[in-house]
Amino acid sequence: MAEKRVSFKVEGEVQGVNFRSFTCKQAKSIGVTGFVTNASDGSVQGEAQGSADALKEFVQHLHKGPSAASVTGVEQSDISTKSGERGFHTK
């Protein structure tokens, strides 16, 4: 299965609501690698890598977020894959 990598940006009420830890947990359960971080504009951003199916499932979780979050939009774009990356972490 070919690996894909996407960069993502989640907008809305997504900081201070455990969005990053939620994202980490989902990524690990799906088997996606990458990272997530809070951005200065109030969004949550990151990169994720895995199979097309795994990434599709991961992005669906980004649209929902944890119960305290209120997601207004998710942007994603394909980027080049990184080799040797292990796990998914918060920056």
CA dihedral (45, 49, 55, 57) in degrees, to 10, reads -80
pLDDT digits 0-9 by tens, 10-49: 999 999 999 999 999 999 999 999 999 999 999 999 999 9
Whether residue 64 lies inside any domain: the answer is yes
Whether residue 88 lies inside any domain: the answer is no
Whether residue 90 lies inside any domain: the answer is no
- Residue 43 belongs to domain with CATH number: 3.30.70.100
Query: Does the annotation mark 18 as catalytic?
Result: no
pLDDT digits 0-9 by tens, 64-77: 999 999 999 999 99
Q: Which domain holds residue 35?
A: 4-81
Residue 11, judged by CB atoms within 10 A of its CB (0-12, 13-18, 19+), counts as: middle
Whether residue 42 lies inside any domain: the answer is yes
Whether residue 87 lies inside any domain: the answer is no
Whether residue 70 lies inside any domain: the answer is yes
Query: Does the annotation mark 20 as catalytic?
Result: yes
Nearest to 17 by CA among 34, 54, 42: 42
Whether residue 86 lies inside any domain: the answer is no
The rounded distance, in Å, linking the Cα atoms of 54 and 5 is: 11
Whether residue 48 lies inside any domain: the answer is yes
The rounded distance, in Å, linking the Cα atoms of 87 and 54 is: 14
